[in-house]
Structure 1
């Protein structure tokens, strides 16, 4: 996007934007009916993008790339770059649902289990009104159904699409079908539907501020999460050390 500073962290681009600036850019894009593809990056996604070229391409092709995790903001400082703040995907989603109510935008919700996405729609419909709901669908489908789902989304004429699926599935799906769906604003939101529905709890603000959301999540699902986060965090720190050494040698 024009006039937006984009930095590089370990060969992955990130935009130096605040939450307020991000919302303003999105709102203008929706008003003009322009296509805008958004993504957030955290430590795990940055690590995976080093080897998963399809994932990296789907990130690079996005119009706005925000720092989802506090670790990305710290990583930028460590590499002598600057990001003003983290723009967490779930916080951005919540703000945009509020904006949809205010501006009479329509939202389509794709992802999670049927009972979870239905609960999310119910919660937002009650908090605001049902007029903001363009449609919804669970995130359990095969590749042979993808095009049909993209057309279902297009035919519901939403202004905003949130996709709550795991990475890299959501990034690749959005990048592959964004022209088919013809939605002004599209965004992957990971496990945000689970949080909104109450299926899982979000870390307290103080833990978010010191970069320990991953630890809080591990406490809730230790059997599934501890190995993933341990492996990713070690890889992330190692990657940053290597990148810092490269920068030092250049200088």
Structure 2
């Protein structure tokens, strides 16, 4: 696509040490992975809604919830249709896959 080519060209012209990708999850992760070899960036970091938070487009929960590490819970309550799969399904599946990989790596190192 021409738009994607233009995005990659703009990044490569700038040659950033760190490229922050702010799209929705998992779109940003897929995009970064798909184009990582074409991008002239030292590090590619998908950041999700961070830009919206700092721009004031999306309000953050109170410091109480943030300090408890439960900001995700308030986002789930505010946008259950959009967030339920991310927090209640994908999160646990990802954690399970990471634990499984960790044990697989340890078993390979023991042999």
1:28-75 residue CA offsets vs partner (Å, 9 max, x unmatched): xxxxxxxxxxxxxxxxxxxxxxxxxxxxxxxxxxxxxxxxxxxxxxxx
From 65, 81, 90, the counterpart of 1:227: 81
Q: 1:213 to 1:175 in 2, by over 3 A?
A: same
Provide closer, same or farther for how the CA distance between residues 201 and 187 of structure 1 changes in structure 2, counting only shifts above 3 A. same
Of 72, 77, 86 in structure 2, the residue corresponding to residue 214 of structure 1 is: 72
Answer yes or no: is the 8 Å Cα contact 1:171–1:188 preserved in 2. yes
Which segments of 5 or more consecutive residues in structure 2 lack a partner in the other structure?
98-111
* TM-score, length of structure 1 as denominator length: 0.33
Q: State the distance in 2 between where 1:160 and 1:237 align.
A: 26
Instruction: Look up the match of 2:50.
Output: 192
* Cα distance change, pair 182–200 in 1 and its aligned pair in 2 (3 A): same
Distance (Å, rounded) in 1 between the aligned partners of 2:59 and 2:39: 32
| Higher strand residue share | 1
Using the size of structure 2 for normalisation, the TM-score is 0.66
- In the alignment, which residue of structure 1 is the partner of 2:106? none
5 Å-filtered alignment, 1:36-47, equals none
Q: From 170, 176, 182, give the equivalent of 2:40.
A: 182
Higher helix share: 2
Call closer, same or farther: CA 1:236–1:158 in 2, change over 3 Å: closer
Say what the alpha-carbon RMSD is for the aligned residues.
3.1
1:173 has 2:27 as partner: no
User: Closer, same or farther in 2 for the Cα pair 1:146/1:231, shift >3 Å?
Assistant: closer
Deviation at 1:157, TM superposition (A): 2.0
Q: Residues 153, 210 of structure 1: CA spacing in aligned structure 2 closer, same or farther, 3 A cutoff?
A: same
How far apart, in 2, do the equivalents of 1:176 and 1:217 lie? 28
Query: Of the two structures, which has the highest relative contact order with CA contacts closer than 8 Å and spacing of 6 or more?
Result: 1
| Deviation for aligned residue 1:232 | 4.5
From the superposition, tell whether residues 155 and 178 of structure 1 become closer, same or farther in structure 2 (CA, over 3 Å): same
Instruction: Quote the Cα distance in structure 2 between the aligned partners of 1:174 and 1:237.
Output: 20
